């Protein structure tokens, strides 16, 4: 099929970004166990940030290489500005990659709209608003719910029964609120939304969890750690509160940008273990930090070598991509 110069360029960008992203995601999937071993002894909040960065890396790298290297090389070397034949497989691949990107973008916008509407309904209801940097809205309900909801003006949604007599005691309530405030301080809802919008291959990395699930679980562990502030008593009290609230298994409407305090039974076991275990025999963070830095340096050096080695062949490679099929 003959395509104009601008459509050929658009086709090249789509196929290049899609192929590079897929290759890097497969590379991360293969090296996932090694990456997780390196991260395991780092502080939980640093683990959470690195797990988030790992998921952004394939897309950011693919877009950067395509726009900074591939496209300029093609534009400078292309001499035919009229219509030219393009392989049917290249066109089909470009359409599929574009469709996947637009589908994820639509899903992200849908989550944003649903979250905004849900937030407005909570603010306009009869809930009791507790003034704070992060507002707390207590709403009526038969089963307990706790979550940080919203993006632009996040607030903590909590069942009114948990704040009244017979609900949570002052220490438990403080721990629950501190947990959600930690999510707010580190913009975890925005991270959740951005991960929801990134097109990616859903592959299990460790114990049946994908990269997004690993990040979300680590974010919960990090928020638990922030809430207890190194206190053994607070850690045990938070563990008791988790077990007590988990029995209700109450969840908020799906497809919202929110981090929920109550989790599944599988995640609960890991959180309880983290809160109750002793850290006296922990591996020194400094040594593992050095290992992570060396590992990241090696990966960046390898990526740079690959780009340098491919630079002379980018023009030919572009033509091959456009004439697949």
Per residue in 177-203, pLDDT (tens digit) is 999 999 999 999 999 999 999 888 888
Quick: pLDDT tens for 228-239: 988 899 999 999
Which whole number is the average pLDDT over 119-136?
Answer: 72
Question: Whole-model pTM?
Answer: 0.82
Count of beta carbons in the 10 Å neighbourhood of residue 141: 15
Delimit the domains of the chain by residue range: 2-279+286-322
Q: Which of the residue ranges 89-93, 149-153, 243-247, 315-319 has the most confident prediction, judged by mean pLDDT?
A: 149-153
User: What gap in Å lies between CA 259 and CA 182, rounded to an integer?
Assistant: 11
* From 68-72, 85-89, 156-160, 289-293, the region with the lowest mean pLDDT: 289-293
Which whole number is the average pLDDT over 250-277?
Answer: 80
User: What gap in Å lies between CA 210 and CA 201, rounded to an integer?
Assistant: 9
Average pLDDT taken over every residue of the chain: 81
Q: What is the pLDDT of residue 315?
A: 54
* From 128-132, 146-150, 267-271, the region with the lowest mean pLDDT: 128-132
Which whole number is the average pLDDT over 78-92?
Answer: 77
Report the candidate in 224, 253, 197 with the shortest Cα–Cα distance to residue 48.
224
Count of beta carbons in the 10 Å neighbourhood of residue 71: 17
Beta-strand runs (E) in the chain: 2-3, 84-85, 128-130, 136-139, 146-149, 155-159, 258-260
Q: What is the pLDDT of residue 193?
A: 93
Burial (Cβ within 10 Å: 0-12, 13-18, ≥19) of residue 179? buried
Q: What is the pLDDT of residue 281?
A: 40
Residue identified by tokens 């590992």 is: 295
Quick one: which H or E segment has residue 23?
Answer: helix 5-30
Give me the percent of the chain exceeding a pLDDT of 70: 79
């Amino acid at each position: 099929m003959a395509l104009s110069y601008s459509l050929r360029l658009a086709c090249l960008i789509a196929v290049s970004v899609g192929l590079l992203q897929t290759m890097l995601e497969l590379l991360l999937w293969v090296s996932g166990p090694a990456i997780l071993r390196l991260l395991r002894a780092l502080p939980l909040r640093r683990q959470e940030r690195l797990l988030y960065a790992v998921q952004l890396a394939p897309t950011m790298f693919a877009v950067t290489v395509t726009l900074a290297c591939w496209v300029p090389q093609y534009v400078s070397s292309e001499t035919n500005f009229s219509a030219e034949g393009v392989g049917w497989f290249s066109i089909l691949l470009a359409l599929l990659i574009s469709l996947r990107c637009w589908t994820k973008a639509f899903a992200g916008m849908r989550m944003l709209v649903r979250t905004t509407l849900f937030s407005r309904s909570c603010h306009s209801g009869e809930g009791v608003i507790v003034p704070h940097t992060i507002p707390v809205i207590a709403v009526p309900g038969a089963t307990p719910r706790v979550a940080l909801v919203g993006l632009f003006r996040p607030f903590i949604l909590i069942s009114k029964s948990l704040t009244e007599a017979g609900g949570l005691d002052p220490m438990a309530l403080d721990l629950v609120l501190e947990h959600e405030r930690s999510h707010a301080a580190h913009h975890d809802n925005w991270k959740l939304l951005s991960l929801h919008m990134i097109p990616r291959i859903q592959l299990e990395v460790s114990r049946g969890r994908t990269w997004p699930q690993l990040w979300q679980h680590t974010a919960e562990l990090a928020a638990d750690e922030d809430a207890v502030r190194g206190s053994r008593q607070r850690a045990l009290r938070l563990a008791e509160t988790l077990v007590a609230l988990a029995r209700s298994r109450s969840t908020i409407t799906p497809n919202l940008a929110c981090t929920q305090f109550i989790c599944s039974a599988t995640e609960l076991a890991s959180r309880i273990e983290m809160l109750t275990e002793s850290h006296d025999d922990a591996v020194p963070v400094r040594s593992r930090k050095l290992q992570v830095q060396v590992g990241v340096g090696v990966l960046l050096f390898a990526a740079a070598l690959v780009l340098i080695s491919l630079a002379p062949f980018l023009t030919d490679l572009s033509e091959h991509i456009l004439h697949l099929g």
